[in-house]
């Protein structure tokens, strides 16, 4: 038996933009409809100044280009990259959903795919019936589903509603049940596309634990995720895709550092016309800045000095219960801390009037370890609506200036906490009796 589970050689996938794709089967009705609509499509493109005819057929995009890597049997490989980097296209080729335009793939072993959680769930069927339906779609035998049924239901946490039609489930309940079915596949090679964000925080931890069990069982896993903490925790190796090409491969932390290094290093973000929120949006972020102790924009913060995060936003009309959230992430994508602008103000439950507002959070000195950090911001009405979200909007670095600890000290933060030591009892014990 080969020691390789997956071998990818010079893999490429090309798509035509706006061109009519060749179809294996086309009905007479389809052909007539296309023929009737063709002149109108062509006229519309001419009015928009777009090419028609042979010229448009030459407009192509490579979703993947010259990607090569090997995955040894039993290895857990993380695949990361920005949206549109080619990650999902790669997994669809490995899953035999789509064919490559060039190159080839060798797969040694049974493959299970978790690409779209919930595919095949029918709203009119009960949870129990959907477990059997979805399990069959994913390739599980009825005997295997019978064997794992109780464990699937317990894992999903929907025991009370297992005989209720899925149309009455909340979206989170349906996703939990769907993931529970998919998580109990027994393939030799498991391909997973961003399914670790299912459900609430507690269920996400169960998902991570289950993926960890799969990895420890010696199965080969290919995992796509934007959760850098999950990649670091679960994967022995990672590859980074950018614009359809593989730009880094190796230790997960090193590859993640390269990935995050591609993000903006700007310590300030300002809204442009292209980024303006659509009409009806109640909160529009105008700017996000990292400031030093003198309220000047900075990308480098000394460890022994405090800093501020300033968020400016405009409300087109009064909003009640608005909260501005600032989240700090480290270079691994782990959440270091989250703070709300209602934590230490009297704004909770009150109305913020229409107009320009600025919320500023002050971080103390000697709080964050030296390293690179990213700031994400959210404007929301808790449990009601997310008005706007800016992920990894700005970045900054904490320098080791004034850092008194060993660099190997563990922890997401290393604050200078105040200690007291009472030695009076030791001194009393030392006195002669």
In what side-by-side order are the strands of the sheet with 220-224?
Answer: 111-114, 189-193, 220-224, 76-80, 237-242, 245-250
219: left (phi over 0), alpha (psi -120 to 50) or beta: beta
pLDDT tens per residue, range 170-222: 767 887 888 788 778 777 888 887 665 555 666 666 777 777 777 777 788 88
- Please list, in sequence order, all residues whose beta carbon lies within 8 angstroms of the beta carbon of residue 418, skipping any fewer than 6 positions away: none
Residue 151 exposure: Cα atoms within 13 Å on the Cβ side: 12
Mean pLDDT of 366-392: 88
Q: Is the CB of residue 397 less than 8 Å from the CB of residue 373?
A: yes
Q: What is the pLDDT of residue 283?
A: 58
Q: Is the CB of residue 196 less than 8 Å from the CB of residue 207?
A: yes
Q: Is the CB of residue 376 less than 8 Å from the CB of residue 251?
A: no
Q: What is the pLDDT of residue 66?
A: 92
Mean pLDDT of 130-137: 87
Q: What is the pLDDT of residue 83?
A: 76
Q: Is the CB of residue 325 less than 8 Å from the CB of residue 423?
A: no
C-alpha–C-alpha distance, residues 391 and 80, integer Å: 16
The model's confidence at residue 27, banded by pLDDT at 50, 70 and 90, is: low
- pLDDT over 80 at 298, yes or no: yes
Q: Which of 187-191, 387-391, 429-433 has the highest mean pLDDT?
A: 387-391
Q: What single DSSP character describes residue 407?
A: T
Q: Is the CB of residue 153 less than 8 Å from the CB of residue 180?
A: yes
Q: What single DSSP character describes residue 81?
A: -
Mean pLDDT of 111-132: 80
- pLDDT over 50 at 427, yes or no: yes
The answer to which of 85-89, 282-286, 310-314, 429-433 has the lowest mean pLDDT is 429-433
- CA distances 1 to 104, 106, 134, 235, Å, are 20, 13, 31, 24
Query: Pick from 276, 349, 289: which is nearest to 319 by CA?
Result: 349
C-alpha–C-alpha distance, residues 205 and 220, integer Å: 21
pLDDT tens per residue, range 234-244: 888 999 998 89
pLDDT tens per residue, range 331-365: 777 889 999 999 999 998 899 999 999 999 999 98
Mean pLDDT of the residues in the chain: 81
C-alpha–C-alpha distance, residues 251 and 261, integer Å: 15
Q: Is the CB of residue 258 less than 8 Å from the CB of residue 240?
A: yes
Pairing of strands 189-193, 284-291: unpaired
Query: What's the angle, vertex CA 412, arms to CA 407 and CA 415, rounded to 5?
Result: 75
Q: What is the pLDDT of residue 262?
A: 57
Strand partners, 300: 397
Q: What is the pLDDT of residue 11?
A: 93
Tell me which of 309 and 43 has the higher pLDDT. 309
Task: Give the rounded distance of the alpha carbon of 177 from its chain centre.
Answer: 20
Residue ranges and CATH numbers for the domains of the chain are 66-261 (3.40.50.300), 268-399 (2.70.50.60)
The model's confidence at residue 399, banded by pLDDT at 50, 70 and 90, is: confident
Reading the block at residue 163, the tokens are 């005989």
Q: What single DSSP character describes residue 278?
A: P
Q: What is the pLDDT of residue 47?
A: 60
- pLDDT over 50 at 23, yes or no: no
- pLDDT over 80 at 276, yes or no: no
Reading the block at residue 365, the tokens are 């000195």
Q: What is the pLDDT of residue 234?
A: 81
- Cβ-based neighbour number of residue 336 at 10 Å: 17
Q: What single DSSP character describes residue 274?
A: G
Query: Pick from 258, 193, 267, 179: which is nearest to 230 by CA?
Result: 193
C-alpha–C-alpha distance, residues 126 and 410, integer Å: 48
Query: What's the angle, vertex CA 266, arms to CA 263 and CA 270, rounded to 5?
Result: 110
Q: Among all chains, which residue has been given the structure tokens 């925790």?
A: 233
The model's confidence at residue 30, banded by pLDDT at 50, 70 and 90, is: low
- pLDDT over 50 at 79, yes or no: yes
Reading the block at residue 405, the tokens are 């600890």
The answer to which of 128-137, 150-159, 254-263, 341-350 has the lowest mean pLDDT is 254-263
- pLDDT over 50 at 164, yes or no: yes
Q: What is the pLDDT of residue 357?
A: 94
Residue 44 exposure: Cα atoms within 13 Å on the Cβ side: 6
pLDDT tens per residue, range 95-107: 888 899 999 999 9
Q: What is the pLDDT of residue 219?
A: 81
The model's confidence at residue 120, banded by pLDDT at 50, 70 and 90, is: low
- pLDDT over 70 at 1, yes or no: no
């Amino acid at each position: 038996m080969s020691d390789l589970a997956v071998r990818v050689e010079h893999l490429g996938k090309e798509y035509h933009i706006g061109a009519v794709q060749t179809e294996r089967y086309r009905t007479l009705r389809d052909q007539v409809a296309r023929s009737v609509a063709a002149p109108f499509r062509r006229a519309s493109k001419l009015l928009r100044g777009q090419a028609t005819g042979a010229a448009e057929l030459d407009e192509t995009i490579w979703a993947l280009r010259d990607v090569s890597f090997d995955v040894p049997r039993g290895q857990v490989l993380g695949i990361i990259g920005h949206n549109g980097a080619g990650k999902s296209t790669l997994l669809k080729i490995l899953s035999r959903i789509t064919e490559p335009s060039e190159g080839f793939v060798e797969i040694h072993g049974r493959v299970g795919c978790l690409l779209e959680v919930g595919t095949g769930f029918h709203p009119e069927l009960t949870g129990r019936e959907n477990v059997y339906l979805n399990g069959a779609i994913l390739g599980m035998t009825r005997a295997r589903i019978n064997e794992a049924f109780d464990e699937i239901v317990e894992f999903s946490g929907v025991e009370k509603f297992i005989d209720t039609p899925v149309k009455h489930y909340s979206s989170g309940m349906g996703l939990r049940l769907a993931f529970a079915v998919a998580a109990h596949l027994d393939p030799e090679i498991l391909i997973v596309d961003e399914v670790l964000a299912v459900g609430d925080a507690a269920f996400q931890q169960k998902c991570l634990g289950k993926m960890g069990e799969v990895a420890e069982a010696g199965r080969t896993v290919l995992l796509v995720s934007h959760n850098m903490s999950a990649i670091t925790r679960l994967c022995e190796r990672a590859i980074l895709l950018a614009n359809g090409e593989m730009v880094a491969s190796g230790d997960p932390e090193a590859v993640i550092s390269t990935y995050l290094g591609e993000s903006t290093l700007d310590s300030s973000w300002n809204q442009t016309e292209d980024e303006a929120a659509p009409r009806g949006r109640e909160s529009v972020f105008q700017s996000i800045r990292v400031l030093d102790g003198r309220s000047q924009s900075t990308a480098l913060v000394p460890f022994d000095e405090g800093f501020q995060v300033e968020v400016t936003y405009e409300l087109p009309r009064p909003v009640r219960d608005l909260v501005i959230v600032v989240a700090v992430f480290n270079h691994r994508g782990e959440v270091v801390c989250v703070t709300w602008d209602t934590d230490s103000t009297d704004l909770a439950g009150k109305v913020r009037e229409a107009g320009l507002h600025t919320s500023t959070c002050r971080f103390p000195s000697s709080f964050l370890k030296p390293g690179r950090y990213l700031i994400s911001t959210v404007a929301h009405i808790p449990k009601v609506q997310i008005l706007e979200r800016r992920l990894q909007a700005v970045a900054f670095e904490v320098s080791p200036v004034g850092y008194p600890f060993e660099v190997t000290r563990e922890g997401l933060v290393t604050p200078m906490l105040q200690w007291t030591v009472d030695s009076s009892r030791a001194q009393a014990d030392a006195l002669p009796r």
